[in-house]
Amino acid sequence: MRRCCRATSRAAIVLLAVASGASFAHADILTTQGVQPWETCAECHNLDGISAMPRFPKLAGQRADYIVKQVQDFRTGRRRNDGGQMSAIAGDLNDTDLARSAAYFSELPAPPPDGSIATDSVEWKRGALLFRDGDDAAGIIKCQACHDNAQSDQPAMPLLKAQHAAYLAKQLNDWRSGVRHNDVSKIMPAVVAKLTDQDIAALAAFLASQPQRRHK
C-alpha cells in the first residue's frame, strides 16, 4: 500500500511539473513583443482587411476615423451589439496603437464586391433606389447622403459598399431594434425605424454587390 502511495505521489509530481512546463511554454508563445497592433485585429478581420466570416466586418479601405470611433465606443460601452467580443480587445488597445491600426486598414486595397448577388432582381433594384434616392412616400432619406464613396465632411461615417451582406443586415436590424445605439446624432435610429425587413435585405444585397472606390 505504501509502495503504491509513493508511486502515486511521484506520478503526481511528474504531472505537475509537466503541467507547469506547459504553462510556461504557453506563456512564452503568447508574447506580443514585435507584433504590430493590427495583427491582433487580423485574427478576425484578416491582414488584408477582408474577413472570411460575415460576422466580422471587412475593414479594408474603410475610413480610419470610423474605425477609431467604433473601437472607442466598444471601449467605453457605448456600443455592445457584438456579443462582447470587441470590448476586451478594445480595452487593451491604446490610442496610439488604435490610430496606427485604423490607418493600416484604411490604406489597404478595397474589398471586391460580392459577384454572386443578382443585380437584376426586384430586391436589388429596391436596394439601389433606397441607397441612391430614398423613398419620399415612406419618409426614408437616401443612404448615399452620408455613405457614398466621396470624401465625406463626416469622416466618421462608414463606407458600406462591398461589405458582407449578412453583416450589413445585422447592423441595420440592430439599429432598428435599439440593440445598437452609438450614434450620438440619432440619425441612424430615426432612418432605420422606417425600413421594413424587405428594405433591409434589399439594401444589404445592393451594397454588398457594389464596388467600393477610393474615398481620397
Domains of the chain: which residue ranges? 1-31, 34-110, 122-208
Residue 135: φ, ψ to 5°: -145, 100
pLDDT digits (tens, 9 = 90+) for 139-197: 999 999 999 888 767 888 999 999 999 999 999 999 999 999 999 999 999 999 999 99
Q: Which residue did the predictor score with more confidence, 117 or 25?
A: 117
Report which of 60, 88, 62, 63 is spatially closest to residue 74, judged by C-alpha positions: 88
**pLDDT for the residue numbered 90:** 94
Q: Are the beta carbons of 165 and 54 closer than 8 angstroms?
A: yes
Query: 122-208 domain in CATH 1.10.760.10?
Result: yes
**pLDDT for the residue numbered 150:** 80
pLDDT digits (tens, 9 = 90+) for 42-92: 999 999 999 999 999 999 999 999 999 999 999 999 999 999 889 889 999
CATH class of the structural domain 34-110: mainly alpha
**pLDDT for the residue numbered 3:** 40
pLDDT digits (tens, 9 = 90+) for 7-42: 433 433 333 333 334 433 344 445 566 789 999 999
Q: How far apart, in whole angstroms, are the C-alpha atoms of residue 92 and residue 90?
A: 5
Residue 140: φ, ψ to 5°: -100, 120
Q: DSSP per residue over 85-149, as a string?
A: HHHHHHHH--HHHHHHHHHHHHTSPPPPP-TTS-TTSHHHHHHHHHHHT-BTTTTBPPTHHHHSS
CA 80 to the chain's CA centroid:
12
